[in-house]
Amino acid sequence: MLVNAENIEIPDGEPRRSGNSLPINELFYSLQGEGILAGVPTVFVRTSGCNLRCWFCDSYYTSWEPNHSWMEIEGVVDEVQSHDADHVVLTGGEPLLHENSVRLLDELNKSGYHITVETNGTIYRDAPIDLVSISPKLASSTPTEKKDPQGDGEWASRHENNRINLEALASLVDDHEFQLKFVITDRNDMVEIEELLGEIRAATTSRIADSAVLLMPEGMTREQLDETRKIVAELAMEYGYRYTPRLHVDLWNDEPGT
């Protein structure tokens, strides 16, 4: 089943490529920095192009200013295999925008990798995924005129209209092991999280344990996380959800390829 097909687009200014290629922004070996697998050595494949525009996006060159090389799926698999890892993360941008992400996931699955997909949860695709790491975008992510990193809020209504797709969220939760990972900018986010969790729980037959709900502090740099991480840790204790660090930021700050 494909939900929200009308949102699928390729990055601006690129000819539509056919065949077996994907727009790849970067491919690197690091430690999983976020979520229930934090600390696990992992190869990251980052596609370019996104259907949303979070004002805080830490992968600016996949969303606001998409930048990539087109790579054949075979070449991506070869490069993944050149690293000594059992875990692969497919991220972006929004990796599930691209039909060919399914082909890549099929190939990685055949090679026996544990596969995590990092997604904003607006698009469902039938693919082999061991852990779907869903990060639904809250109202506080919307690039309003004041928060827009690039213009005067031109993306705000499009982002707002597309950021939640309950049907896709429920399908992702129903079909895979999952974590729901919310980026927290301040305590007001909790009202919307509680409401959205109620809606997802009503739409799915799967149980969503509180331990599968992760609160992640917003911040691209150590300095920014210094402002948010303690508040988020306290919110996790208050609500009974799980706190997730951003280990890569703690270790390497905002260095590319980490």
Ligand X SMILES: Nc1nc2[nH]cc(C(=O)O)c2c(=O)[nH]1
Ligand Y SMILES: C[S@@+](CC[C@H](N)C(=O)[O-])C[C@H]1O[C@@H](n2cnc3c(N)ncnc32)[C@H](O)[C@@H]1O
Name the binding residues. 31-33, 46, 50, 54, 56-59, 91, 93, 135-137
Which residue's beta carbon is nearest to the bound ligand Y? 135
Closest CA to 44 of 98, 99, 2, 104: 104
Q: Of 87, 98, 176, 181, which one interacts with ligand Y (CB under 6 A)?
A: 181
Q: Is 57 in the site for ligand SF4 (CB under 6 A)?
A: yes
Q: Of 31, 190, 220, 231, which one interacts with ligand X (CB under 6 A)?
A: 31
Nearer to ligand SF4, 62 or 165 (CB): 62
Nearer to ligand SF4, 11 or 92 (CB): 92
Q: Is 26 in the site for ligand Y (CB under 6 A)?
A: no
Q: Of 21, 32, 119, 141, which one interacts with ligand X (CB under 6 A)?
A: 32
Would you say 94 and 52 are in contact if contact means Cβ atoms under 8 Å apart? Answer: yes
Binding mask 76-95 for ligand Y (x = CB under 6 A): ---------------xx-x-
Binding-site residue positions for Mg(2+): 59
Q: Is 30 in the site for ligand X (CB under 6 A)?
A: yes
Site for ligand X in 80-109 (CB under 6 A): 89, 91
Q: How far is the CB of 30 from ligand X (least distance, A)?
A: 4
Give CA–CA dist 119/92, Å, rounded.
Answer: 8
Q: Is 185 in the site for ligand Y (CB under 6 A)?
A: no
# residues near ligand Y by CB under 6 A: 18
Q: Is 120 in the site for ligand Y (CB under 6 A)?
A: yes
- Structure tokens belonging to residue 226: 């210094």
The residues binding ligand Y (CB under 6 A) are 50, 56-59, 91-92, 94, 118-120, 135, 181, 183, 216, 218-220
